[in-house]
Chain A
Amino acid sequence: MFTGCGVVAGQTQYLPKDAVRPLTGLMVTRSNPAENGVTAGTCPGYHAQTYSPSVQPAVVNDSIPLKPPPAPAPPRALKLGQEGFKKVCRTEEDSPCPFPGLASGVLEMRVKEGSKIRNLMGFAMARMQGGEGVNAAGMSGGGLRQVVFTGSGRAVTKTITCAEIMKRKVGSLHQLTKLRYKVVKEVWESTEGGASEMTVHRTVPSISILLSKDPLDPQEPGYQPPETLSALWEEKEGVDSASQTACKRPLGPLPYSGVAHCKKVCLGEGLSVVPPQ
């Protein structure tokens, strides 16, 4: 869980310029432009060689452009709070639709951390199957043709689960998955009076899943044809079994490993008939 020495070295380099402020690692926009300039100047170079921030198992990734201090410290939010700052607002910056050329009226399900799957699915399934919302774009007969699930941070898992449930229930849906970082702007205000205010930009990983009853472009990265429920694993195993046979890792003395091993062997033989590319 601790940071490597490389990062620490980088940090010491970085710290002196910033030593006054306790909030290393955050790119802070204060009213003082000079100070801000220093931070902005040092950050990018510094971060270029260090890696990600997810020191804690916290799911929210704290930013690319900002380097968190390599401390086994409590999460950043808590720390800011301890320093006498209070989060006053949090806005998600508008990002363009990840699916260019999508009709504007497509149902977008924004999955949040606290969203209930039954609520989301109840709504989305009704729209996809039923005849409600007849005027919505992308309609033709039995329900909507397309739906987009988006979620970020801790809601990513839930978003995928929703999409998976819908694929299973509706069947023969084409899927397009896009990943990207989403920028979240947070404004923190000092609690000890004074007009000190900070704006923190942090980036959070987010996912967008487009499910469509109509075919989508199979060349697009992240496309998944319908009914690849379990085929995904098998197919991948098959594709380059050559490299797989080359890679022999000792299987643990696991009760199930026997089965897995058998399977691999069978696959390897089967593939001699169908030559891998």
Chain B
Amino acid sequence: MDRNRKILIAILAVVAFSAVLAIVDISLTMQERQTMAPSIGIPQVGPGVGVVRIEGPIDFSDSSSPFGMLSGAEAAIKRLDEMSRNPNIRAIVLRINSPGGTVGATQEIYQKLMNLRKRNVVVVASMGEIAASGGYYIASACSRIVANYGTITGSIGVIIMAPNLRQLFDKLGINMAVIKSGKYKDILSSFREMTPEERELIQEIIDSSYQKFVSDVSLGRNLSRDDILPVADGRIMTGNKALECKLVDVIGTFEDAVNEARKLAKLPEDSAVYDEVKSPFQQLLFSMEGMYRGRSAGLLERSFGFGGYNIVQYRYQP
């Protein structure tokens, strides 16, 4: 019996030993694979370039998602803030892929970028598919703007849209009872026609926001208002045309923008790039958030694909 027991203990010892062997084997294989893997030449440590991405409409709405994750303008400002405090970040590349957005959110990002510029932080804008209106507004706050040849940009202007559903409601026999403290309280109401006084009032807001847009672009780009006004009529243009109009500095890709940032910050060519890489878990949360938003969006938002009614916007709105 004792002999059998000893044999069994020996077998268990062999299993334990094989577990140790297997761990060592897996670790060594892993190490070997890492050393054999092709080097990408970009060490992700030390001083480098930080990347901030601005994707989609710029606004503050739903900035904190049901999953507690920041998104939109709030997230961009927070990331810019974190990067400006990180001693390893010597330059920032702002990757813009946006048709613009609300006036307040756009101006807040613009101001944040201008403050960084005043503190001599190098910020380079890289335009993706589209960087129009508010997207261009924030790009104008950067030290350099790099656009692709075919990037849709420009659209310097302000817009507000309000659907007039009066005829539809008349057909359906729906009346809206409105009790208001002043005659402009329900300005831009969808249930009635807009009065000339209201139109004038809204136009004043639009004009004021437009003047601010032009003066901020003029300040950011270091151009005179007269240089900008000829193209500041809401027109969109390609990156190449924008270069001719001095709205951008260089035609190039995202990599070119990163290299430009390195050059301006006097960083070595292989310095690190700190991109906004989301973990698979974060990506899952973001996709779940997208589903949640899709389900909870209003009728107009779902029908027309956006929810930008009754808000003054720096936005390219085809």
Do A and B actually bind?
A: no
Q: Which B positions have Cβ atoms within 8 angstroms of A?
A: none
